[in-house]
Chain A
Protein backbone atom coordinates (compact mmCIF):
# COMPACT_ATOMS: atom_id res chain seq x y z
CA UNK A 1 0.00 0.00 0.00
CA UNK A 2 1.68 3.18 -1.18
CA UNK A 3 -0.78 5.52 0.52
CA UNK A 4 -0.35 7.75 3.54
CA UNK A 5 -0.15 5.57 6.63
CA UNK A 6 -1.23 6.75 10.05
CA UNK A 7 -0.98 4.84 13.29
CA UNK A 8 -2.45 4.05 15.58
CA UNK A 9 -5.94 4.21 14.15
CA UNK A 10 -7.40 4.63 17.61
CA UNK A 11 -5.60 5.91 20.69
CA UNK A 12 -7.00 6.11 24.19
CA UNK A 13 -5.22 8.15 26.83
CA UNK A 14 -6.00 9.31 30.34
CA UNK A 15 -5.75 12.97 31.24
CA UNK A 16 -2.15 13.99 31.80
CA UNK A 17 -0.62 11.26 29.62
CA UNK A 18 1.25 11.82 26.37
CA UNK A 19 -0.11 11.00 22.92
CA UNK A 20 2.18 10.28 19.95
CA UNK A 21 0.61 10.08 16.53
CA UNK A 22 2.62 8.80 13.58
CA UNK A 23 2.37 9.50 9.88
CA UNK A 24 4.32 7.96 7.02
CA UNK A 25 3.85 9.99 3.85
CA UNK A 26 3.43 8.56 0.39
CA UNK A 27 6.63 7.46 -1.28
CA UNK A 28 8.36 10.41 -2.87
CA UNK A 29 6.41 13.02 -0.93
CA UNK A 30 8.49 15.53 0.96
CA UNK A 31 5.81 17.58 2.72
CA UNK A 32 3.47 16.63 5.54
CA UNK A 33 0.44 18.41 6.94
CA UNK A 34 -1.43 17.73 10.18
CA UNK A 35 -5.11 18.61 10.58
CA UNK A 36 -7.53 18.19 13.47
CA UNK A 37 -11.21 17.42 13.05
CA UNK A 38 -13.92 17.57 15.69
CA UNK A 39 -17.26 15.80 15.12
CA UNK A 40 -19.50 17.62 12.64
CA UNK A 41 -16.73 20.10 11.90
CA UNK A 42 -14.20 20.74 9.16
CA UNK A 43 -10.49 20.18 9.11
CA UNK A 44 -8.49 22.69 11.11
CA UNK A 45 -4.93 23.26 9.94
CA UNK A 46 -2.32 22.62 12.59
CA UNK A 47 1.15 22.39 11.07
CA UNK A 48 2.96 22.02 7.75
CA UNK A 49 6.40 20.40 7.64
CA UNK A 50 9.08 19.26 5.27
CA UNK A 51 11.89 16.98 6.33
CA UNK A 52 13.77 18.44 9.32
CA UNK A 53 11.95 21.76 8.94
CA UNK A 54 8.67 23.32 10.08
CA UNK A 55 7.23 25.49 7.32
CA UNK A 56 4.11 26.79 9.06
CA UNK A 57 2.91 26.00 12.57
CA UNK A 58 0.41 28.82 12.88
CA UNK A 59 -2.40 26.37 13.71
CA UNK A 60 -0.61 24.60 16.53
CA UNK A 61 -1.51 25.42 20.13
CA UNK A 62 1.42 27.15 21.80
CA UNK A 63 1.64 24.68 24.63
CA UNK A 64 1.71 20.89 24.85
CA UNK A 65 1.68 20.29 21.08
CA UNK A 66 4.73 19.67 18.92
CA UNK A 67 5.44 18.12 15.54
CA UNK A 68 8.47 16.84 13.74
CA UNK A 69 9.36 15.24 10.43
CA UNK A 70 12.86 13.80 10.77
CA UNK A 71 15.20 12.97 7.94
CA UNK A 72 14.48 9.30 8.51
CA UNK A 73 11.20 7.86 9.75
CA UNK A 74 7.64 9.08 10.05
CA UNK A 75 6.30 12.45 11.04
CA UNK A 76 5.24 12.59 14.68
CA UNK A 77 2.55 14.75 16.25
CA UNK A 78 3.09 14.81 20.00
CA UNK A 79 0.58 16.00 22.57
CA UNK A 80 1.84 16.24 26.13
CA UNK A 81 -0.38 16.17 29.22
CA UNK A 82 -3.54 15.52 27.22
CA UNK A 83 -6.86 16.99 28.32
CA UNK A 84 -10.38 15.95 27.36
CA UNK A 85 -10.58 18.80 24.85
CA UNK A 86 -7.80 17.16 22.83
CA UNK A 87 -10.17 14.34 21.88
CA UNK A 88 -10.57 14.53 18.11
CA UNK A 89 -9.62 12.89 14.82
CA UNK A 90 -6.15 13.88 13.69
CA UNK A 91 -5.44 13.59 10.00
CA UNK A 92 -2.11 13.63 8.27
CA UNK A 93 -1.68 14.47 4.60
CA UNK A 94 1.34 14.43 2.35
CA UNK A 95 2.14 16.24 -0.85
CA UNK A 96 4.82 15.98 -3.49
CA UNK A 97 6.24 19.44 -2.93
CA UNK A 98 8.42 20.34 -5.89
CA UNK A 99 7.82 17.89 -8.71
CA UNK A 100 11.17 16.37 -9.52
CA UNK A 101 10.13 15.42 -13.04
CA UNK A 102 7.98 18.37 -13.96
CA UNK A 103 9.62 21.15 -12.01
CA UNK A 104 6.16 22.28 -11.10
CA UNK A 105 5.16 22.98 -7.54
CA UNK A 106 2.38 20.58 -6.64
CA UNK A 107 2.09 21.19 -2.96
CA UNK A 108 -1.67 21.59 -3.01
CA UNK A 109 -2.34 17.99 -3.98
CA UNK A 110 -2.80 16.60 -0.51
CA UNK A 111 -3.25 12.89 -0.01
CA UNK A 112 -4.75 12.00 3.35
CA UNK A 113 -4.32 9.09 5.70
CA UNK A 114 -7.25 7.44 7.46
CA UNK A 115 -6.64 9.43 10.63
CA UNK A 116 -6.02 8.71 14.29
CA UNK A 117 -8.99 9.00 16.62
CA UNK A 118 -7.73 10.24 19.96
CA UNK A 119 -9.95 9.73 22.96
CA UNK A 120 -8.97 11.24 26.30
CA UNK A 121 -10.65 9.75 29.35
Chain B
Protein backbone atom coordinates (compact mmCIF):
# COMPACT_ATOMS: atom_id res chain seq x y z
CA UNK B 1 0.00 0.00 0.00
CA UNK B 2 0.90 3.64 0.15
CA UNK B 3 3.87 4.44 2.34
CA UNK B 4 5.84 7.54 3.23
CA UNK B 5 9.45 7.46 4.39
CA UNK B 6 11.09 10.17 6.46
CA UNK B 7 14.72 10.89 7.13
CA UNK B 8 16.47 11.29 9.34
CA UNK B 9 14.65 9.27 11.98
CA UNK B 10 16.04 11.50 14.71
CA UNK B 11 18.23 14.59 15.02
CA UNK B 12 20.18 16.20 17.84
CA UNK B 13 21.22 19.76 17.07
CA UNK B 14 22.57 22.82 18.84
CA UNK B 15 20.28 25.76 19.43
CA UNK B 16 20.65 28.24 16.57
CA UNK B 17 21.47 25.64 13.94
CA UNK B 18 19.42 25.08 10.83
CA UNK B 19 17.57 21.80 10.33
CA UNK B 20 16.62 19.90 7.18
CA UNK B 21 14.45 16.82 6.91
CA UNK B 22 12.73 15.11 4.03
CA UNK B 23 9.90 12.82 3.11
CA UNK B 24 9.71 10.46 0.15
CA UNK B 25 7.15 8.21 -1.46
CA UNK B 26 6.99 5.71 -4.28
CA UNK B 27 3.66 7.24 -5.31
CA UNK B 28 2.72 10.67 -6.59
CA UNK B 29 0.87 12.92 -4.17
CA UNK B 30 -1.15 16.01 -5.01
CA UNK B 31 -0.87 17.47 -1.53
CA UNK B 32 1.97 17.41 0.97
CA UNK B 33 1.58 18.43 4.59
CA UNK B 34 3.93 18.92 7.50
CA UNK B 35 2.78 18.48 11.10
CA UNK B 36 4.48 18.82 14.48
CA UNK B 37 3.55 16.73 17.51
CA UNK B 38 4.44 17.64 21.07
CA UNK B 39 4.45 14.90 23.75
CA UNK B 40 0.96 13.90 24.83
CA UNK B 41 -0.75 16.05 22.23
CA UNK B 42 -2.18 15.68 18.76
CA UNK B 43 -0.27 16.83 15.67
CA UNK B 44 -0.55 20.46 14.62
CA UNK B 45 -0.48 21.51 10.97
CA UNK B 46 2.58 23.60 10.08
CA UNK B 47 2.55 23.93 6.31
CA UNK B 48 0.41 22.66 3.42
CA UNK B 49 1.74 22.37 -0.15
CA UNK B 50 -0.41 21.97 -3.26
CA UNK B 51 1.76 22.41 -6.38
CA UNK B 52 4.93 20.72 -7.59
CA UNK B 53 7.89 23.01 -6.97
CA UNK B 54 5.95 25.14 -4.51
CA UNK B 55 8.00 26.70 -1.72
CA UNK B 56 6.04 27.89 1.32
CA UNK B 57 7.21 29.52 4.54
CA UNK B 58 5.69 29.79 7.98
CA UNK B 59 7.97 31.90 10.16
CA UNK B 60 11.28 30.07 10.49
CA UNK B 61 9.87 27.03 8.71
CA UNK B 62 10.11 26.52 4.96
CA UNK B 63 8.75 23.54 3.07
CA UNK B 64 8.99 22.53 -0.57
CA UNK B 65 6.85 20.29 -2.76
CA UNK B 66 9.26 18.23 -4.85
CA UNK B 67 9.21 18.52 -8.62
CA UNK B 68 8.60 14.79 -9.04
CA UNK B 69 5.63 15.04 -6.66
CA UNK B 70 7.11 12.10 -4.79
CA UNK B 71 8.94 14.04 -2.11
CA UNK B 72 8.87 17.05 0.14
CA UNK B 73 11.37 18.87 2.34
CA UNK B 74 11.12 20.85 5.55
CA UNK B 75 13.73 23.31 6.77
CA UNK B 76 13.83 25.03 10.14
CA UNK B 77 16.16 27.97 10.47
CA UNK B 78 17.83 29.16 13.68
CA UNK B 79 16.38 26.41 15.84
CA UNK B 80 15.16 27.18 19.35
CA UNK B 81 14.31 24.85 22.28
CA UNK B 82 10.57 24.94 21.57
CA UNK B 83 11.21 23.36 18.17
CA UNK B 84 11.67 20.06 20.00
CA UNK B 85 9.11 17.49 18.96
CA UNK B 86 8.25 14.99 16.27
CA UNK B 87 7.76 16.26 12.74
CA UNK B 88 5.49 14.27 10.48
CA UNK B 89 5.02 14.57 6.77
CA UNK B 90 1.65 13.58 5.37
CA UNK B 91 0.33 13.19 1.88
CA UNK B 92 -2.91 13.00 0.00
CA UNK B 93 -3.08 11.58 -3.51
CA UNK B 94 -6.33 13.24 -4.55
CA UNK B 95 -8.82 15.56 -2.92
CA UNK B 96 -11.09 12.66 -2.03
CA UNK B 97 -8.41 10.34 -0.69
CA UNK B 98 -7.33 9.64 2.85
CA UNK B 99 -4.35 11.47 4.34
CA UNK B 100 -1.47 9.16 5.30
CA UNK B 101 1.46 9.97 7.57
CA UNK B 102 5.15 9.20 7.55
CA UNK B 103 6.90 7.65 10.59
CA UNK B 104 8.21 11.01 11.78
CA UNK B 105 11.51 12.75 12.51
CA UNK B 106 12.28 13.34 16.17
CA UNK B 107 14.06 16.65 16.77
CA UNK B 108 16.02 17.44 19.91
CA UNK B 109 17.55 20.89 20.42
CA UNK B 110 20.47 21.28 22.80
CA UNK B 111 20.52 24.72 24.45
Name A's B-contacting residues (CB within 8 A): 4, 33, 35, 41-45, 48, 55-56, 58-59, 91, 93, 105, 107-115
Contacts of A58 in B (CB 8 A): 1, 98
Q: Nearest-CB distance from B99 to chain A (Å)?
A: 6
Check if A108 sits within 8 Å of B99, measured CB to CB. Answer: yes
Check if A113 sits within 8 Å of B98, measured CB to CB. Answer: no
Check if A113 sits within 8 Å of B42, measured CB to CB. Answer: yes
Check if A114 sits within 8 Å of B101, measured CB to CB. Answer: no
Chain B 84-111 interface mask (CB, 8 Å, partner A; 1/0): 0000101010011111111110000000
Which 5 A/B pairs are nearest by Cβ-Cβ distance?
A: A112-B42, A42-B103, A43-B101, A105-B95, A108-B92
Q: Nearest-CB distance from A87 to chain B (Å)?
A: 16
A107 to B41, CA, bound (A): 21
Contacts of B96 in A (CB 8 A): 55, 105, 107
| Stretch in B14-22, B43-51, B52-60, B72-80 with 4+ CB within 8 Å of A | B43-51
> Does B33 touch A at the CB level, under 8 Å?
yes
> Does B64 touch A at the CB level, under 8 Å?
no
Contacts of B33 in A (CB 8 A): 108, 110
12 A-B residue pairs with Cβ-Cβ distance under 8 Å, sorted by A, are: A33-B99, A43-B101, A55-B96, A58-B98, A105-B96, A107-B92, A107-B96, A108-B48, A110-B33, A111-B45, A112-B44, A115-B40
Check if B45 sits within 8 Å of A114, measured CB to CB. Answer: no
